[in-house]
Amino acid sequence: MIGQAKGRNPGMPLDMGWVRATTVNRSATQRRVGSLVARRSVKKAWQAAWLLRAITLIDLTTLTGDDTPGKVRRLCAKARQPLREDLIDTLEAQSLGIMVGAVCVYHARVKEAIGALLGSGIPVAAVSTGFPAGQSAYAQRIEEIHQSVEAGADEIDIVISREHALRGDWRRLYDEVREMRAACGDAHMKAILATGELGPLWTVARASKVCMMAGADFIKTSTGKEPVNATLEVGLTMTREIRAYEELTGCQVGFKPAGGIRSAKDAVNWMILMKEELGDDWLDKRLFRFGASGLLTDIERQLSHHASGRYAARHHMPMA
């Protein structure tokens, strides 16, 4: 066994034999995803409990061209108190201290987010390395990581060079991610695969393995900017690689689906996938996050319906 199950992922030497042996049965993957969603149903008080847990797993995100200091401060205020006080009281959830898992911003907004979250314990994640395309000069991408770390980011979301995965140049991908992990220092690193641009599932599976071997603390589906983002088929493929990596090394690697996850139902489906494929450890923010901006509003509306029997209008759910 390499590494420690409860610590960070230290990575391991690149094992090309393990990478090349990776295959994915797409038909079986589709059947498994279909059965997973169809036969599971969470209702009433159980649904409310799952949705409260889902809030704690959200990386509340703003990654748009109109991000301003004021917008970041409003987002952070929502991160601190994601539910209205009257709803918390009705649900008798005061003792739970519900807050989101992290706030995710461009690295230029890291200091503003840290200032707005001071004392909350909520980590700040920064997207770096030429997000979202990863096409800027390599030295510049590494420098972005250093700048985000120096600004105080607790987590760094890096984007891989899709070219390396598409060409099967796994050594270059490994070396790149390894160097990015070193640049992150003590900040946890999430490696974004941009799966919608990688083609077949076996490429996604191999890229997942390589990033974990290079020391990624999380593997993440998407930037949220691709035409196709997080899908349950891709999620199943990546989580099974996480399981295989844990069996080989003893290290637990986190998973973050991002992009297109907008409804409470979506959130519950993803949580069911994590519970069934990886176990209860992955229903904790230490190992599972949603990358989302609009998801929280729908979860709050569903919880309001559970508490009152009525759906609240979206404008009654304050958001940044």
Residue 207's alpha-carbon distances to 85, 103, 210, 230, 320, in angstroms, are 43, 26, 5, 15, 35
Catalytic entry in 78, 190, 209, 256: 256
Q: Do 193 and 219 contact (CB within 8 A), yes or no? A: yes
Query: What's the rounded Cα separation, in Å, for the pair 263 and 275?
Result: 19
Residue 285: active-site member? no
Q: How many CB atoms lie within 10 A of CB 94?
A: 10
Which residues 6+ apart lie within 8 Å of 7 measured at CB?
251
Reduced to 3 states, what is the DSSP secondary structure of residue 247?
A: helix
11 Ramachandran zone, left/alpha/beta (phi>0; psi -120 to 50): left
Q: What secondary structure letter does DSSP report for 117?
A: T
Residue 111: active-site member? no
Q: Do 34 and 231 contact (CB within 8 A), yes or no? A: no
Of 240, 203, 201, 195, nearest in space to 222 by CA: 195
Nearest-10 Cα torsion for 187, 192, 119, 142:
40
Catalytic entry in 59, 157, 217, 298: 157
Question: Which residue is it, tokens 């409260």?
Answer: 52
Reduced to 3 states, what is the DSSP secondary structure of residue 140?
A: helix
Residue 266: active-site member? no
Catalytic entry in 154, 220, 285, 298: 220
Which residues 6+ apart lie within 8 Å of 260 measured at CB?
222, 224, 229, 230, 231, 266
**Residues annotated as part of the active site:** 157, 220, 256
